[in-house]
Structure 1
């Protein structure tokens, strides 16, 4: 099989194999995705970002109509499709810019197609900021069992384009000793599955009008990752929800891979959540797909 070019990139340690396919000629199987993401026998990554024009993929029709040229075909490390990836979309845009496939001046916006619809990105002081759109909080309780927690804990379900369950822990030691090598069990189990985030507040929780928390995550289809962009947004939204009406709209979230920013604002009279953070390209090469 011919060699396929790729680039490795990451956003706060959440790493991806970027595969350029502007004309939509590649049909990557789940096994090929898993082989690319294998950290011993492949390139290694939490997922694959296929760079394809919106006009070259059936799922890109709505994004093309909205004016987006590029579609982020994101696949988890096990090959499964995901609606969105908050870290991945920033890395995706960084790749487009570095490859000369797009441009983004200060103050300008670039629209990227995803399975959660077209999403706008701008440059920010942390790197790039993406508007994840509206979010939905479900107050129905989900019980979460995880290795390292002596009893099940209640979780809050939040949808930010993909599903999350956020669990509050009482002390930092619980977060540090949590064993996420095994998938947490959810009851009831969401139909589409869910990413599971565990959070602890900083002390103080709010400083100079900005909230601060720490988080670890188990991503569906992947396992524990150093960061999860949409999970960071969901975690900040959960703590903001629990804190009540006086909670701030700006948050910083520390994950094992670094720090990300979250803010809640109104866009066209609707509440949106925005995520900001860095995006880094590490190296490029070619790989043979079996």
Structure 2
């Protein structure tokens, strides 16, 4: 039997498995079964809580930040490995604090290792804020074909530790009529795939100095989810890019599961993007790993 905790961030839900010493080797098939909403617990992904010193990928994190004791070993619902998860890392941090595995005093920072590098988590008014690090335009700007839209749309490639393609839509009606049961088709296809976000600007776009947009997302290896933290950040970055130099650095992004905050700010190595929002633990249990 393996103990687990179920948690979510704005409806983006995860099965959390504590494995401090790296003794549990989850297979692709086991992850897929655990995440299955009919035959397993049901989730968008798995968060394995493991010490950075107990996982090969953690060596890079410790070299970057020796205080990054914990590593977020994140798997998509289909068992594939993902570099980063913006909602997941808030839930991961919340689990560490609630379980007594880490402490985070007001004004302090909790560094967490990920395959995209070390990410710093702090407390915020809405729960937690994570510095997603330096972002960049990926240069991958494919055309996007999705059911529910009669015309192929251009996408903007943005990298925030994992790959995203953001597509602008004209109205809430277009957003509502999207059929995201199947993956959008990217032309040309990207070798590692990408999360695809569909965004509609608020009316007005900027209110009281804060940008407002709405979005839906198809996550690679998962499908449509209620929320995608890194996708929220990529969406805000894309809309600011399209809006031009006068666009704000603070955004509110509405997703089916709630609302998240995005902030862009200067750092020594370039501009960073931060994501803020809630994290909740829902229930605990035990399950056989077949």
Give me the TM-score of the superposition, normalised by structure 2.
0.98
Counterpart in 2 of 1:165?
165
Match of 2:105 in 1: 105
Partner Cα separation in structure 1 for residue 34 and residue 21 of structure 2? 20
Q: Does 1:49 align with 2:47?
A: yes
Give the equivalent residue in structure 2 for 1:137: 137
Number of residue pairs matched by the alignment: 288
Instruction: Report the Cα distance in structure 2 between the residues aligned to 1:203 and 1:48, rounded to whole angstroms.
Output: 37
The residue that corresponds to 1:184 in the other structure is: 184
1:138 Cα offset (Å): 3.7
Distance in 1 of aligned mates of 2:30 and 2:182: 24
Q: Distance in 2 between matches of 1:230 and 1:141?
A: 18
- Report the equivalent of 1:251: 251
Q: Which moved more, 1:133-142 or 1:25-34?
A: 133-142
1:21-57 Cα deviation digits (max 9, x unpaired): 0000000000000010011111110000000000000
Q: How does 1:15-26 map to 2 (within 5 A)?
A: 15-26=13-24
Match of 1:119?
119
Secondary structure of the 1:238 match is helix
Deviation for aligned residue 1:164: 0.3
Matched residue of 2:142: which SS? strand
CA RMSD of superposed structures (Å): 0.8
Q: Aligned residue for 1:203? A: 203
Q: Hey, what does 1:265 align to over in structure 2?
A: 265
CA distance in structure 1 between the aligned counterparts of 2:274 and 2:122, rounded to whole angstroms: 11
Counterpart Cα distance in 2 of 1:285 and 1:128: 25
Distance in 2 (CA, whole Å) between partners of 1:196 and 1:63 is: 27
**1:139-194 superposed Cα distances (whole Å, 9 cap, x missing partner):** 55310000000010000000000000000000110001111011100011111100
Q: What secondary structure does 1:141 align onto?
A: coil
1:32 aligns with 2:45: no
Report matched runs for 1:223-242 at 5 Å. 223-242=223-242
| In structure 1, C-alpha distance between the alignment counterparts of 2:116 and 2:14, rounded to whole Å | 19
Quote the offset at 1:268 in angstroms: 1.6
Runs of at least 5 residues in structure 1 that lack an aligned partner in the other structure: none
Q: Deviations over 1:55-89 (max 9, x none)?
A: 00000012223120000000000000000000000
Unaligned runs of 5+ in 2: none
- C-alpha distance in structure 1 between counterparts of 2:153 and 2:146, whole Å: 9
Q: Distance in 2 between matches of 1:95 and 1:202?
A: 34
Q: For 2:218 and 2:270, how far apart are their aligned partners in 1?
A: 29
Q: Deviations over 1:260-287 (max 9, x none)?
A: 0001001125100000000000000100
User: What is the deviation of 1:126?
Assistant: 1.1
